[in-house]
C-alpha cells in the first residue's frame, strides 16, 4: 500500500506540529521556572537589602549624632559659647528621630538593641541637659564634672555596647 503525497504531507505536518507543541510546552515550563524568581525572590531580596542599608545608615547616624551631642555639651561647658548649646539642641532632635525610625523599621532584635540604646541615650541627655543648665547659671566646673563622671561614662559604654551589638548581629547575618 502506497501513501499518496497529500497524506504524507498531512502526516508530516501533524508530526512536526506535535513536536513543535511539545517543544513549545517544555520551553514554556523552563521559562516559567526561570522567571519565577524575578517575581518573588529577587524583589524580596532587593527589599531586604534596602531595609538593611537603611538600618545600617541609621545605626551610623545614631553613633555620629551621639558623638556630636557629647562634643557639643563638653564644648559648651568649656567655652560657654552659645553655638555649642544650639548645636546640641539641633542634634538632640535628630538623634531622637533616628532612634524612632530604627524602632519602626527594624526587626524584633533591632528593636531590642535600639531600646537599650534609647535607655542609655535618655540617661545621657538628662545628664547633658543638667550640665548645660549648670553652664547657663555660671557653674561650668560642675557641668564638666558631670560630663566626666563615672555615671556618665557608664551610660556612654551602654550606648556604645548597643551599637556594637547591632553591628555584631549584622555581621552574623552576612555569614
Q: In this predicted model, what pLDDT tens digit does every residue of 129-146 receive, in sequence order?
A: 999 999 999 999 999 999
With a cut of 60, say whether residue 61 has pLDDT above it.
Answer: yes
Contact criterion met (CB below 8 Å) for 72 and 88: yes
Residues 6+ apart with CB under 8 A from 28: none
Q: What is the radius of gyration, based on Cα positions, of the chain?
A: 32
Q: State the pLDDT at residue 38.
A: 72
Query: pLDDT digits over 63-107, tens only?
Result: 999 999 999 999 999 999 999 999 999 999 999 999 999 988 888
Q: How far apart are CA 82 and CA 20, in angstroms?
A: 82
Averaged pLDDT of the chain: 91
At 1, the pLDDT band (50, 70, 90 cuts) reads low
**Long-range CB contacts (< 8 A, 24+ apart) of 87-94?**
88/128, 88/132, 91/65, 92/125, 94/61, 94/65
Alpha-carbon distance of 114 to 108, in angstroms, equals 10
CB 77 within 8 A of CB 143: yes
Assign 51 a pLDDT band (cuts: 50, 70, 90): confident
Answer yes or no: is pLDDT of 23 > 80. yes
pTM of the model: 0.75
Per mean pLDDT, which range of 5-9, 17-21, 140-144, 154-158 is the poorest? Answer: 5-9
Confidence category of residue 175, pLDDT binned at 50, 70, 90: low
* Amino acid 32: pLDDT: 82
Amino acid at each position: 500500500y502506497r501513501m499518496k503525497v497529500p497524506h504524507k504531507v498531512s502526516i508530516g505536518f501533524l508530526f512536526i506540529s506535535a513536536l513543535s507543541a511539545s517543544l513549545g510546552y517544555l520551553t514554556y515550563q523552563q521559562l516559567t521556572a526561570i522567571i519565577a524568581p524575578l517575581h518573588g525572590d529577587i524583589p524580596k531580596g532587593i527589599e531586604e537589602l534596602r531595609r538593611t542599608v537603611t538600618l545600617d545608615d541609621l545605626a551610623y547616624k545614631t553613633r555620629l549624632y551621639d558623638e556630636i551631642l557629647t562634643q557639643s555639651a563638653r564644648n559648651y561647658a568649656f567655652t560657654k559659647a552659645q553655638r555649642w548649646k544650639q548645636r546640641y539642641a539641633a542634634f538632640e532632635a535628630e538623634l531622637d528621630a533616628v532612634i524612632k525610625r530604627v524602632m519602626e523599621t527594624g526587626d524584633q532584635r533591632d528593636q531590642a538593641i535600639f531600646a537599650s540604646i534609647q535607655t542609655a541615650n535618655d540617661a545621657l541627655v538628662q545628664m547633658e541637659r543638667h550640665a548645660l543648665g549648670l553652664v547657663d547659671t555660671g557653674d561650668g566646673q560642675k557641668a564638666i564634672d558631670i560630663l566626666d563622671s563615672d555615671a556618665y561614662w557608664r551610660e556612654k559604654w551602654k550606648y556604645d555596647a548597643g551599637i556594637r551589638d547591632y553591628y555584631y548581629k549584622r555581621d552574623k547575618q552576612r555569614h
